[in-house]
Structure formats: C-alpha cells, structure tokens
Amino acid sequence: MNPPTAFQRFLLAGVCAISVLVAPAWSAPSQIIAQLDRLGLPLGESAQLAVTVKDSQPVEPNVPPVDGLEITPVGQQSSMQVINGAVFAEVRYVYQVTPNRSGSFTIPAIAVPGGGSTQPIAFHVDKIPTGQNSRSPRPGGSPLPAPSGTPAEEEAAWADAKGQSAFLRVVLPKQEITVGELIPVEIKACFPAGVAASLNGLPMLTGGAFALNKLDDNPEQTREVIDGQPYNVITWSSALSAVEAGDYPLNLELPVMVRVREKSKRGGGRNSFKDFFGDASPFDDSVVDDFFDQVTEKPLALHSDGALLRIQPLPVQGRPPDFSGAVGKFDVSTEASVIRAVTGDPITLKMKITGQGNFDRVATNGLASSAGWKSYKPNARFEPADREGFAGTKTFEQAIVPTRAGPSEIPALSFSYFDPDTRSYVTKTTSPIPIEIVPGSAIASALVPSTTPAMARATDGLVPDHPETGRVSSLSPVVLAPWFLMTNALMAAATAIGLLVRRWRQLRANDTERVRAAAASAAVREAVSEMDESIKNRNSVGFFHAARRAVAERLAERWSVPASRVTLAEIQARLNGSGENICALFKRGDEVAYSHEEVTASELTQWRANISQQLAHL
C-alpha cells in the first residue's frame, strides 16, 4: 500500500477539521424548556409562560390549546452565541396564560418541529377569595379603577357617601419602552377625602418584567379633585425600567390599613328611639348612630389597573462594540487635571457623561494603555440631578501616566448608548486634549532645592512615582519569623551543649584516680584473659605469671603504688597475715616457674576460681 500523498493528507486534515466544527451542530438536538412563573393563581389573574428554545436554527414551538385557558403570545427574546465556530441561538417565547375558570390545569408537552419537547406543567387556579374583587374594570368604563382588594361589604362601609373608593394610579410618560430604558414614573395612591386610612408599606411590583427604583419613604401628600370629588393623594416619584421584551401589564400593589366603621346592632335593627319618639325623634340623627358604631382597622391592598406596556428589545443590528447597555440620552466630555506634565507623573483624566437614562449601565473602560500612555482602571462617581436618579452626571476618573516626552495629546474617548426615541445606537466621541509632556529631569532642576537630594520632583513637590513595582517582600522583619528564631536558638543550644559535653569529658580525663583505676581494671582484665588462654594451652608457667600480674595490678591500685612494687614480702607486710590465699598463689607461682612443673588442668581451674574470688574481694 502506497503512503498517502501530501494532497491526500491535506484533504484528510481538512475533513477532520470540518467534522470537528460541524459535529456539535449536527449532534446537538433542539433543547426546549418551558417555565410558568407561578403554579397557583387566583381566577382573574394571568401567569406568564416562557418557552426557551435552544438550537442552531430555533423555530417557534407549537403550544397546544388547553380547555379553560387562553394562551396568548406576548413577545419573544433572542440571543446568539458562537462557541468553537458553532452558532447557538436561543429564543425565548413568552405567552400570557389566562384561566377562564378555576380548577387544576395541565399545559401538555410543548414540542418544536424536529426537536424535543417539554415536560407537562400542572398548576391550579383558585376561585376569587371572598372579599377580593377582580381587577377587571368596573362596568360603565369609569376612568377610575375599582378599589380592588377591598371586600365588597367593606368597600361599601368605607367608601364615602358618593360611592368613591381609594385606588392606585400609575402615571407613565409613554406606553412603549425599550429593554433597559429607565423612565420616570409617578405612583399615586388616591383616598377619598374623609376616609381614614394609613399606609402599611410601599408600593411594590407584582410582575417580573419590570424593575422599580427605590421609593421614597416620605412621599408627597396633596389634595386633588378627581372627577369632581376631593381626594387625598399620596405620590411617589421614581423610575421604572423594563427587563424583558414583550407586552406586560404593569401591576403594583400597595398595602394599606383602612379604618372601617361597622354598624352596631342598634343601627342594624329598628331605631327604638325613633319608634318611641316617632319621626320627630331628636335621636333620628346619623351622629347618634355613628356614636354607637364600632371602628376597626382592616389590612387591605390597593392594586393598579395593570396597564399593558409594550417593551421593545434592543436591536442587535448596529450595536457598537463598546455598548454597555446604556439607554437614554447622554452627552460626553473629557478634561485633564493638567495641561503640562512630566513623564512618569500621573494625570487624572475625567470623563463626564451627562444626561438622562439608566446610569447604572453607563460604563466605560476609559483610555487604553498605548505606546505613549500607561493607564489604570477608572473609578466612577454618579451625581444625580433629581430624586429618582433618572438624570445626572456620571464621572469617570482615570489615572494615566505619560511615558514619552514631547508635545502630545490625550486621545479621544467614545461612549455608545441606545436612544429610545430614534430607536438607534449613538456613539459620541470627545475631542483629543492637547498636553505637553516634558522629561522628568527638566522640571527637577528648577524645582529641587539645593539642600535636598538631586531628584526629580513633580509640580506638587513630590518625587514622581516609581515606574517599576519592584520585588515583593514581607514587611515583617525576619527576626520575628518563628523559623528564624528557632534555627538560631537550636544552633546556639547545640553549640552550648557540645561545649558542656567537651568540658565534662576533659574533667573526666584529668581525674588521675579514675584514670588509674581504669588502667588497673584494663590490666586485670588482660591478665585474666591470659590466664584463661593458658588454661586452654596447658601452660602452667604462663597461667601463674598472669595470675600474679592480675593480683599485683589490683593490689597496686588499692595501695597506690606501682605494680612492680607488689612482691610477696610487700603482701605479707601489708596484709599482715590476712592474705594467705594470695601468698599461696605467689609461692605456688614461684615453684612452678622455677621447677617447670606441669600442673593439672583441674588444679589450674581451681586456681582460676580462687583468683577470681580474690580479685572480687580486693
């Protein structure tokens, strides 16, 4: 078989590469996920069904009809990712699910053509709780919404004589906004004049498609005439933003505490005073009836009318690369802290973005590091121009360091945002700032006094920053490190112990008594060893010679005399007749030495035991 040619190898490599790139798209089936934002809801309210389809080419899912449910598409949101060359798109289809009756419902599996399907979703719809009104407009199409959330009886009880009730109204500048756009909003809680009510909290959103800025704890209180009726109006001013594209109702809820006057039993039956006094009774007066009524506090919730808002998505086409999500109308300007600087000395570059919009998404990377500039991450500071934080100025302060001398300019900076009015992206660019950069040493000679070290100083009197960060080391000195202390202590202790041991050995070596005793013991051991050797060799002369030497060494040590001076006469003189065995040994030794007598082994062994006993006693 011939080896593959270069062209064949190239073809094979190309096929493999294409397979690797395309395989994920082929192999990955369509993923579909369905989520219902609430699994239990009262009749009259709607839930949001989100169906997310992940595929290279997503198609709209088929949502099967369900008896008793109205499933209406309200919008879709798409995103796209490119991973390792494969394109992954994700589309989120949003439906509004409105039940027509109470009971348990199951949304069956939702499938996409040629793809997977979702799990069925079961949820429950409760009847309207007793005392809860539907949020549908009142019959007659009154511009004022019904005081939803108030029990019918209590509504009648705390409504004023003309039938007006409290309500919550949301005032928006427009009904169509863009995702991320911040719009001012006024939330008005209107209470009929004369109705005793107190707030039990702040208005809050009940849907997930919007975000509301922080509300003021001290709202504005005014008195207004609405439809010819006086109202006490509490107004919160804030800003609202949309987080999802689609058509969503704006639902707000305000918990309040209402003082309800309950009719007394007297008021419920006949007026006995009236019965007694007839029509001309002086007690036929509401004041008298009110006197006997009981006043109780009831917690209630006011709901807004749920006006439908259309939320437009941010267009993908034409989106600038530096777009950070800012939506609104902005102006951009830059300024530098100095117009003449020294190389290596930091300059503060300020970028001011002024206007109206979602300032929390206003961001910039500032000036990027380049050949002539070294830059650091900018810091942001926002100064709102209104209470809602809708308008204001966001300032980015960035430290930049010129690295090259000569006439130069700080490059222009750009900022991109989305204008919701024109529905287009806008990129605003600042003008370059001319600046003169001089070498550090040029200013140094003029600024440094003669008494200080010859060193370049900046205009603020400080020596400029070091360009290099240098080696990192610990601030804590090494003398505090346990390992250092331990090592040195061990070293010193070991040396001290060694010196002590050496001194002790020297003392022992200089002890003459101990040295003599040791030498005598060594000589005795050597002589005894010779004795044993002589017994083994049947050497009688050698045995007695060694025996005499062993005894003489031991006696010499005892008497502190040289061993040569230990003779039979000396022994007899010193032991004074008590050393008979020793004397007998010496005599027997002399006999054997002079006669060369062969002594039997048993006798030698007996002498060996005798001598050992004597040596032990000495």
Partner 1 sequence: MNLPSLRHCVAARRREKRTTKIEVKPVLLVALVAGVLMLCSAFAAEEAAPSQESAPALFNRGNALVREGKPGPAILAYERAQELAPRDPAIAVNLQAVRDTAGLAAPTPAWWQSAACALTMNEWAWSGSLALAFVCGAISLGRLLPTRLRQPVKALSAVCTVTVLISASALWLRWPELSRAVVLNSHVTALIAPAESAGPVFPLAEGEIVTAKKELRNFVLVCTADGRSGWVARAQIERVIPAPVPNRAG
Residue 285: helix, strand or coil by DSSP?
Answer: coil
Is the Cβ of residue 179 or residue 551 nearer to partner 1 in the bound state?
Answer: 551
Instruction: Print the binding letters for residues 534-563 with partner 1: x by CB under 8 A, - otherwise.
Output: ----------------------------xx
Amino acid sitting at position 361 = R
Task: Give the interface segment with partner 1, choosing from 4-12, 35-43, 379-387, 493-501 (CB under 8 A).
Answer: 493-501
Any contact of residue 378 with partner 1 (CB under 8 A)?
Answer: no
Task: Give the interface segment with partner 1, choosing from 2-10, 48-56, 174-182, 473-481 (CB under 8 A).
Answer: 473-481
Residues in contact with 54: Cβ distance below 8 Å, sequence separation at least 6, in sequence order: 30, 31, 32, 33, 88, 89, 90
**Contact pick of 470, 576, 577, 594 for partner 1 (by CB under 8 A):** 470
615 φ, ψ to 5°? -65, -35
Could you tell me whether strands 379-384 and 414-419 are parallel, antiparallel, or unpaired per DSSP bridges?
unpaired
For the purposes of burial, counting CB atoms within 10 Å of the CB of 145, is it exposed (0-12), middle (13-18) or buried (19 or more)?
A: buried
CB of 492 to partner 1, least distance (A): 6
Any contact of residue 511 with partner 1 (CB under 8 A)?
Answer: no
Task: Give the interface segment with partner 1, choosing from 187-195, 217-225, 439-447, 475-483 (CB under 8 A).
Answer: 475-483
Any contact of residue 481 with partner 1 (CB under 8 A)?
Answer: yes
Gap between the Cα atoms of 70 and 97, Å rounded? 6
Q: What is the DSSP string of 299-352?
A: EEEEE---EEEEEEPPPSTT--TT--S-BEEEEEEEEES-SEEETT--EEEEEE
- From first CA to last CA, the distance across the chain in angstroms is 105
CB of 512 to partner 1, least distance (A): 6
419 φ, ψ to 5°? -90, 110
Any contact of residue 455 with partner 1 (CB under 8 A)?
Answer: yes
Number of shown-chain residues binding partner 1 (CB under 8 A) = 46
Element (H, E) at 547: helix 540-559
Is the Cβ of residue 154 or residue 397 nearer to partner 1 in the bound state?
Answer: 397
**Contact pick of 49, 523, 531, 535 for partner 1 (by CB under 8 A):** 523
Any contact of residue 519 with partner 1 (CB under 8 A)?
Answer: yes
CB of 527 to partner 1, least distance (A): 12
Task: Give the interface segment with partner 1, choosing from 296-304, 408-416, 430-438, 516-524 (CB under 8 A).
Answer: 516-524
In the region spanning residues 325 to 354, those forming contacts with partner 1, defined by CB under 8 A, are: 346
Any contact of residue 446 with partner 1 (CB under 8 A)?
Answer: no
Is the Cβ of residue 479 or residue 569 nearer to partner 1 in the bound state?
Answer: 479
Task: Give the interface segment with partner 1, choosing from 58-66, 89-97, 425-433, 495-503 (CB under 8 A).
Answer: 495-503
Could you tell me whether strands 424-429 and 391-402 are parallel, antiparallel, or unpaired per DSSP bridges?
unpaired
Gap between the Cα atoms of 130 and 148, Å rounded? 13
Give how far Cα 494 sits from Cα of 88, 443, 489, Å: 71, 60, 8
Give how far Cα 359 sits from Cα of 319, 543, 560, Å: 18, 117, 110
Is the Cβ of residue 2 or residue 469 nearer to partner 1 in the bound state?
Answer: 469
Any contact of residue 451 with partner 1 (CB under 8 A)?
Answer: no
Gap between the Cα atoms of 13 and 18, Å rounded? 9
Any contact of residue 492 with partner 1 (CB under 8 A)?
Answer: yes
**Contact pick of 498, 536, 567, 601 for partner 1 (by CB under 8 A):** 498
Any contact of residue 506 with partner 1 (CB under 8 A)?
Answer: no
Instruction: Print the binding letters for residues 262-301 with partner 1: x by CB under 8 A, - otherwise.
Output: ----------------------------------------
Task: Give the interface segment with partner 1, choosing from 81-89, 278-286, 456-464, 543-551 (CB under 8 A).
Answer: 456-464
**Contact pick of 379, 427, 441, 452 for partner 1 (by CB under 8 A):** 452
Any contact of residue 223 with partner 1 (CB under 8 A)?
Answer: no
Any contact of residue 577 with partner 1 (CB under 8 A)?
Answer: no
Give how far Cα 541 sits from Cα of 537, 554, 587, 590, 598, Å: 11, 20, 13, 9, 8
For the purposes of burial, counting CB atoms within 10 Å of the CB of 611, is it exposed (0-12), middle (13-18) or buried (19 or more)?
A: buried
Any contact of residue 478 with partner 1 (CB under 8 A)?
Answer: yes
Any contact of residue 227 with partner 1 (CB under 8 A)?
Answer: no
Task: Give the interface segment with partner 1, choosing from 33-41, 146-154, 158-166, 482-490 (CB under 8 A).
Answer: 482-490
Alpha-carbon torsion angle 127, 129, 131, 133, nearest 10 = -50
CB of 341 to partner 1, least distance (A): 13
Task: Give the interface segment with partner 1, choosing from 103-111, 276-284, 452-460, 582-590 (CB under 8 A).
Answer: 452-460
Is the Cβ of residue 385 or residue 481 nearer to partner 1 in the bound state?
Answer: 481
Task: Give the interface segment with partner 1, choosing from 30-38, 231-239, 433-441, 460-468 (CB under 8 A).
Answer: 460-468
CB of 443 to partner 1, least distance (A): 15
Residues in contact with 37: Cβ distance below 8 Å, sequence separation at least 6, in sequence order: 47, 48, 49, 50, 208
Residues in contact with 594: Cβ distance below 8 Å, sequence separation at least 6, in sequence order: none
Instruction: For residue 355, give both structure tokens.
Output: 């206007």
Considering Cα of 384, then 386, then 388, then 391, what sign does the dihedral take? negative
Any contact of residue 445 with partner 1 (CB under 8 A)?
Answer: no
Instruction: For residue 288, give both structure tokens.
Output: 């008298």
Any contact of residue 369 with partner 1 (CB under 8 A)?
Answer: no
Is the Cβ of residue 22 or residue 497 nearer to partner 1 in the bound state?
Answer: 497
In the region spanning residues 66 to 105, those forming contacts with partner 1, defined by CB under 8 A, are: none
Give how far Cα 128 sits from Cα of 43, 96, 211, 220, 309, Å: 6, 19, 27, 34, 25
**Contact pick of 477, 569, 573, 609 for partner 1 (by CB under 8 A):** 477
Any contact of residue 495 with partner 1 (CB under 8 A)?
Answer: yes
For tokens 């000396």, the residue is 570
Instruction: For residue 341, give both structure tokens.
Output: 């600087």
User: Which residues sit at the interface with partner 1, rule CB under 8 A?
Assistant: 346, 399, 452-453, 455, 457, 460-466, 468-481, 483-484, 487-488, 491-492, 494-495, 498-499, 509, 512, 515-516, 518-519, 523, 562-563
